[in-house]
């Protein structure tokens, strides 16, 4: 990840490549932990659909979910995109695509045929109210849709086949393929990269925020948050966040090409981090939950609210992303054997953490724990278990290349 904008009074500190990789690894660890923490809160805070129902809820965890959702997957796309151009340059188009299919496509297919149907079967058995059936029958008849659709099917879609939390891997694969195609078109057209783009300062970041907010507002008039649509009957997309995700992937590619991360003015980043943290404090003070980011509609009040919440959500996203990149680049640069291991395990943790977590959430259901207590217990148990399991899986023959 790279960031160009010369300091006005003193030259910017440009980290070495090793320190750059160390702080990026540390950021990846933090984002992976945040994914686990976010999913641990789902049954106990927001009103979103989840695999476990009927649990005690609290507004604090609903706000936590809203804050997390505003920025952390956008930052994931950014971090992932920073590494894409270098991989393409080293491997070329064919090996790049083969590597992406192995690293992203294979876990996506395996997860969609093992992890996700297991989670959906548990939900089917516990909450849908249909007569009990065996997992093999559910998998063929309901998950794959080879059986007859029940007349009283409760949805949300038929069949039950979906990608669950693996949507990020699926979307990242799609973006990587689009990047490869763009590079091929540029090669055939014999176009070059052009002049170096300056690092965004305050003005550039404000323009970026306004542009993404406007696109988000227009999309959310029709597609509120947590509305998922199938693109080409395969790609699982949440349109309400698509402008953010796509923009941050493009920004990650540009950051690599123009060395933005190494050259970014730290003073600018600290100011945006302070603004982002102030926004987080305001949301917690107001008790805002995920619902406040999900309204849409074509009538006047709904359109005004959609404009307001789009601007707020995107501003918070940009501020926290810029601020956290600065924080990790400037402060959290250390590397140890433990941090290197955790960074290497983070991708596998993302893939496998959900069944571990949902199992814990089912186990704790009905045991009288308050919402925050159950959430804390799930976090405390799921995080080390997921990282230990990921470390073990990565050492199995043939899996290191994938995980």
- Tell me how far apart the alpha carbons of residues 165 and 51 are, in angstroms, rounded to a whole number: 12
For residue range 96-147, list pLDDT tens digits in order: 999 999 999 999 999 999 999 999 999 999 988 888 899 999 999 999 999 8
Confidence (pLDDT) at 357:
94
For residue range 343-354, list pLDDT tens digits in order: 999 999 999 999
Q: Tell me if 174 is assigned to some domain.
A: yes
Q: Angle of helix 115-127 relative to helix 337-364, nearest 10 degrees?
A: 20
Q: Tell me if 403 is assigned to some domain.
A: no
Confidence (pLDDT) at 129:
85
Confidence (pLDDT) at 327:
92
Q: Tell me if 4 is assigned to some domain.
A: no
**For residue 145, what are the domain limits?**
17-394
- Tell me how far apart the alpha carbons of residues 148 and 220 are, in angstroms, rounded to a whole number: 34
DSSP 103-125: IIIHHHHHHHHTHHHHHHHHHHH
Q: Determine if the peptide bond prior to 159 is cis (ω within 30°).
A: yes
Confidence (pLDDT) at 301:
57
User: Can you say whether the dihedral through the CA atoms of 45, 46, 50, 53 is positive or negative?
Assistant: positive
Confidence (pLDDT) at 12:
40
Confidence (pLDDT) at 16:
40
Could you give the dihedral angle defined by the CA atoms of residues 373, 379, 385 and 388, in that order, rounded to the nearest 10 degrees? -150
Regions of the chain where pLDDT drops below 70: 1-20, 191-194, 287-309
- Tell me how far apart the alpha carbons of residues 47 and 8 are, in angstroms, rounded to a whole number: 47
Q: Tell me if 9 is assigned to some domain.
A: no
Q: Tell me if 5 is assigned to some domain.
A: no
Buried b (16+ CB within 10 A) or exposed e, 254-274: bbbbbbbbbbbbbebbebbbe
Q: Tell me if 300 is assigned to some domain.
A: yes
Q: Tell me if 6 is assigned to some domain.
A: no
Confidence (pLDDT) at 192:
65
Q: Angle of helix 106-113 relative to helix 167-188, nearest 10 degrees?
A: 150
Q: Tell me if 231 is assigned to some domain.
A: yes
Q: Are 315 and 91 in contact (CB under 8 A)?
A: no
Confidence (pLDDT) at 90:
92
Q: What is the distance of C-alpha 114 from the center of its chain?
A: 21
Q: How many domains does the chain have?
A: 1
Q: Are 72 and 32 in contact (CB under 8 A)?
A: no
- Tell me how far apart the alpha carbons of residues 104 and 115 are, in angstroms, rounded to a whole number: 15
Report pTM: 0.88
The dihedrals phi and psi of 237, each to the nearest 5 degrees, come to: -125, 140
Q: What is the distance of C-alpha 90 from the center of its chain?
A: 26
């Amino acid at each position: 990840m790279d960031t160009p904008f010369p300091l006005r009074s003193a030259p910017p500190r440009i980290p070495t490549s090793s320190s750059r990789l160390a702080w990026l690894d540390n950021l990846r660890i933090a984002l992976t932990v945040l994914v686990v923490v976010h999913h641990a809160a789902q049954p106990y805070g927001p009103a979103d659909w989840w695999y476990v129902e009927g649990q005690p809820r609290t507004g604090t965890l609903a706000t936590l979910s809203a804050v997390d959702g505003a920025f952390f997957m956008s930052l994931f796309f950014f971090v992932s995109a920073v590494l894409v151009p270098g991989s393409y340059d080293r491997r070329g188009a064919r090996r790049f695509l083969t590597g992406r299919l192995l690293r992203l496509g294979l876990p996506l297919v395996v997860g969609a045929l093992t992890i996700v149907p297991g989670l959906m079967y548990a939900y089917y058995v516990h909450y849908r109210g249909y007569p009990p059936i065996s997992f093999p029958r559910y998998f063929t008849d309901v998950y794959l849709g080879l059986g007859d659709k029940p007349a009283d099917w409760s949805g949300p879609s038929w069949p039950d086949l979906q990608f669950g939390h693996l949507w990020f891997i699926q979307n990242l694969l799609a973006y990587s393929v689009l990047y490869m195609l763009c590079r091929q078109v540029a090669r055939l057209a014999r176009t070059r990269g052009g002049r170096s783009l300056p690092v965004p300062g305050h003005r550039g970041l404000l323009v970026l925020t306004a542009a993404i907010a406007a696109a988000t507002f227009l999309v959310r008039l029709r597609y509120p948050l947590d509305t998922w649509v199938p693109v080409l009957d395969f790609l699982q997309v949440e349109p309400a966040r698509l402008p953010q995700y796509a923009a941050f992937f493009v920004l990650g590619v540009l950051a690599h090409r123009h060395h933005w991360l190494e050259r970014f003015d730290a003073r600018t980043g600290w100011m945006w981090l302070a603004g982002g943290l102030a926004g987080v404090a305001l949301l917690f003070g107001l008790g805002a939950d995920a619902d406040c980011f999900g309204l849409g509609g074509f009538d006047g009040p709904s359109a005004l609210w959609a404009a307001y919440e789009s601007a707020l959500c995107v501003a918070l996203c940009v501020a926290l992303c810029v601020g956290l990149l600065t924080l990790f680049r400037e402060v959290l640069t250390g590397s140890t054997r433990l941090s290197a291991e955790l960074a290497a395990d983070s991708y596998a943790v993302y893939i496998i953490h959900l069944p571990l977590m949902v199992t814990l959430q089912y186990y704790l259901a009905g045991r009288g724990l308050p919402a925050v207590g159950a959430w804390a217990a799930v976090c405390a148990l799921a995080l080390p278990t997921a990282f230990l399991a990921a470390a073990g899986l990565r050492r199995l023959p043939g899996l290191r290349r994938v995980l």
